[in-house]
Amino acid sequence: MKVKTEKSENRKALPKFFLTMLGSLLAGGFLGFLVGFSRILGPDTGEIGRWLDGTLRAATPWGIPVTSALTMGACFLLYRSAAKKFAAWGGGDEDDVSQSVEVLLSWALLLSAVQLLLSLFFMTAIGTYQPEKGVLAMVGVFLLSCACVIFTQQKVVDLERRMNPEKHGSVYDAKFQKKWLDSCDESERLQIGEASYRAYMVTTRVCLGLWMVLTVLGMVFEIGMLPVTVLLLVWGLMQVTYTLECIRLSKNGMAAQ
């Protein structure tokens, strides 16, 4: 086995690092130049802001019902297809069938999670714009949408449990995620760990990208410091949690979970 020394690894990685830094520096300079240029000759940024604001204000009353109808409809179709395949499968050793059922259910879960985020977004928009009419009805639609999301997730979990009788937990239970994780075996825990690490890496990159975008936007629009503060708070929380958990696990081992 080839043994790579620390020095040779560093020597190999350093030129790439400097190139990345130089590229970022040039991109930042170019963006700064564009920002300055747009202030002199560019479009009226206030006008763009007002247009975005007006569009979102108009979309607010319809946001939750329209997105809910689309995502919940898709969830229903995915669930029905998974349930049909599961009924035809019958619990044999065929991996293709069980894997396609798992994939369909995972997509249904993902769509329901996206719908929850959209509902929360439009609920905040209702609170921000405070439409003159029908606020109570909009709040009712929001609650109904949340109920539909939870119901869909419970149906998916029920089918998962029928496929995997060793799994425990109900979405209606506050400790559902812990109970579900406890009923996962070693390979499933490894899968969850790898997926979580990928999510961590993607979120880290997205946070860095968003910080750059918000910094540039802050020079053009009057967005204030709140967006960057919230972004850095979420990023910091994730970094601190990850590091503290790594320290805890290295001290106590995986058995201490």
Which residues of this protein are in contact with another protein, per CB under 8 A? 1-2, 91-93, 95, 98, 164-166, 184-188, 190
The neighbour count for residue 192, using CB atoms within 10 Å, is 13
> Tokens in use for 166?
């060793």
Nearest approach in angstroms of CB 81 to another protein is 20
Choose among 116, 114, 109: nearest CA to 75: 109
Nearest approach in angstroms of CB 165 to another protein is 8
Nearest approach in angstroms of CB 160 to another protein is 11
Question: Between residues 89 and 151, which has the closer beta carbon with respect to another protein?
Answer: 89
Question: Between residues 6 and 185, which has the closer beta carbon with respect to another protein?
Answer: 185
Question: Between residues 50 and 198, which has the closer beta carbon with respect to another protein?
Answer: 198
Task: Give yes or no for a contact between 122 and 134, defined as CB atoms under 8 angstroms apart.
Answer: no
Nearest approach in angstroms of CB 197 to another protein is 17
Question: Between residues 1 and 136, which has the closer beta carbon with respect to another protein?
Answer: 1
Number of helices and strands (H, E) in the chain?
Answer: 7, 0
Nearest approach in angstroms of CB 92 to another protein is 7
Q: Is the torsion defined by CA of 220, 49, 116, 72 positive or negative?
A: negative
Question: Between residues 86 and 142, which has the closer beta carbon with respect to another protein?
Answer: 86
Question: Between residues 2 and 251, which has the closer beta carbon with respect to another protein?
Answer: 2
Cα(230)–Cα(104) distance, integer angstroms = 34
Task: Give yes or no for a contact between 238 and 203, defined as CB atoms under 8 angstroms apart.
Answer: yes
Nearest approach in angstroms of CB 113 to another protein is 22
Cα(24)–Cα(18) distance, integer angstroms = 10
Cα(53)–Cα(226) distance, integer angstroms = 17
Cα(232)–Cα(211) distance, integer angstroms = 8
